[in-house]
Amino acid sequence: MGTKLQVLDKFISDSFQNEEINIKELVKTILNFKIWIFLVTIVVFLLGLIFIISSPDEYVAKSKLLLEQQQGFSGKSLGGLAGISGLGNLGLGNQGSESIPAELIPELVMESDFLKELIYEKIEIPEERDSVTLIQFVNEYEKHDFYYHLFRLPALISTQLSSTSAKDKNNKPQPIISSEDQDILSLNSEERKAIVQLRSRIQIEKEDRLLLIQTKMQNPVGSAQLNGILIRKLKSYLTDLILEKEIQNFEFIQKRTNEAKSRVESTQKALARFRDSNRGINSQLVKTEEDRLQSDFNLEFSVYNSLAQQLEQARIKVQEATPLLNVFQRPQIPTSNSEPKYVLLGMVFLVSGFVLAILSFFGLLVFQILKFHFSNV
């Protein structure tokens, strides 16, 4: 190495004297460090090889969903229906069905609210011959490469030496906020870790009217299962999110309709009993009472009829607002692993080692130039 440094110093001295850099001499100087460049390249490549060999296999399952988001009735169309049915003053025509833009679905899937429901779903682990929840998989069964364990070693040693950390380890972490508080999302450390890992294992994109879903797991069956679970959860989550307001309105109208129906039956029976008990009696008082009962019945029936029409409109509105996610391509169990890509990663580490070796040479060159410059000042 000393001889090589002398060659480098000579190149620097000549360059300062000539006040220019001779490219041919620079190349010769680089070639003089060819063993150093080769060794650095091989070391980086071997370190990368350890990463490649120790990395667990990953399997990707793909599926496609056809998105058919039906648009709710517009205010104009509902107003027309309300006018035909005699409900123009009830204000129903101004209520439009809300929907979620399809472009927001990929972002919605990555939100913690959605993923928190997902991490407690179960997938199969062939090594255990059993199924475990996703949060258990991430915290207990997920495999990692050699460097992951190497970098975590100081933290693990510190945890073992700390009695407080050991106590926390024995007790399952509890959320600071009560689970009854629905306005705040509270996650413990295991849930946070599982959600972060799921974000890296799920990829969803929108392409025209298709939602492309990719899920990645360390076994092929689990990858396909996660994809299927994601489809099922996405359908349920979107439906609940969109229909919450419409269903509440439907249930309210349905309750009022049932109450109106009971009143109609009650007034109808009262009118029938009065007519049966006063049959053949010619009295103005009886006729007045019968007219009153008839008016009560007509009023209650009119209210019931209006509510029944509103109920039918609310039922149609719920149906129209329901998001339709049809499975265009079902998830299949992958037959081969997608990661690690041995050849590609090998080339990446080989090129990276060579680039790093060249950069280290130029770093040494700059250091020697500065050293030469300040020594002659």
Residues 45, 64 share a domain: no
In a domain, 18, yes or no: yes
Say how far apart CA 239 and CA 241 lie, in whole Å.
5
Report the pLDDT averaged over residues 241-257.
79
Residues 176, 90 share a domain: yes
Is the pLDDT confidence value at 309 over 60?
A: yes
Residues 187, 76 share a domain: yes
Residues 28, 75 share a domain: no
Confidence class of residue 359 from pLDDT cuts 50, 70 and 90? very high
More confident residue, 321 or 148: 148
In a domain, 276, yes or no: no
Say how far apart CA 2 and CA 173 lie, in whole Å.
58
Structure tokens, 71: 């648009």
Q: Give the H or E element holding residue 101.
A: none
**What is the 3-state composition of the chain as percent helix, strand, coil, each rounded to the nearest 5?**
65, 10, 20
More confident residue, 87 or 326: 326
In a domain, 289, yes or no: no
Residues 37, 24 share a domain: yes
In a domain, 364, yes or no: yes
Q: What is the pLDDT of residue 85?
A: 39
In a domain, 159, yes or no: yes
Residues 123, 94 share a domain: yes
Residues 135, 48 share a domain: no
Residues 189, 72 share a domain: yes
Structural domain total, the chain: 2
Structure tokens, 245: 């307001």
Task: With H, G, I as helix, E, B as strand and everything else as coil, classify residue 338.
Answer: coil
At which residue do the structure tokens 């006040």 appear?
Answer: 19
**Closest Cα to residue 257, out of 313, 304, 312, 300?**
304
In a domain, 347, yes or no: yes
Is the pLDDT confidence value at 277 over 50?
A: yes
Is the pLDDT confidence value at 168 over 80?
A: no
| Least confidently predicted of 58-62, 131-135, 346-350 | 131-135
Q: What percentage of the chain exceeds 90 in pLDDT?
A: 15
Residues 124, 17 share a domain: no
Say how far apart CA 191 and CA 186 lie, in whole Å.
9
Give the range of the structural domain holding residue 8, as residue numbers without chain letter: 2-54+340-375
**pLDDT tens per residue, range 180-202:** 556 677 888 888 988 999 999 99
In a domain, 282, yes or no: no
Within 10 Å of residue 99's Cβ, how many Cβ atoms? 17
Q: What is the pLDDT of residue 323?
A: 62
Residues 140, 15 share a domain: no
More confident residue, 176 or 108: 108
Report the pLDDT averaged over residues 162-178.
51
In a domain, 124, yes or no: yes
**pLDDT tens per residue, range 106-132:** 888 888 888 888 899 888 877 767 788
Residues 211, 357 share a domain: no
Residues 63, 27 share a domain: no
Is the pLDDT confidence value at 215 over 90?
A: yes
**pLDDT tens per residue, range 310-330:** 888 877 776 666 666 788 888
Q: What is the pLDDT of residue 87?
A: 41
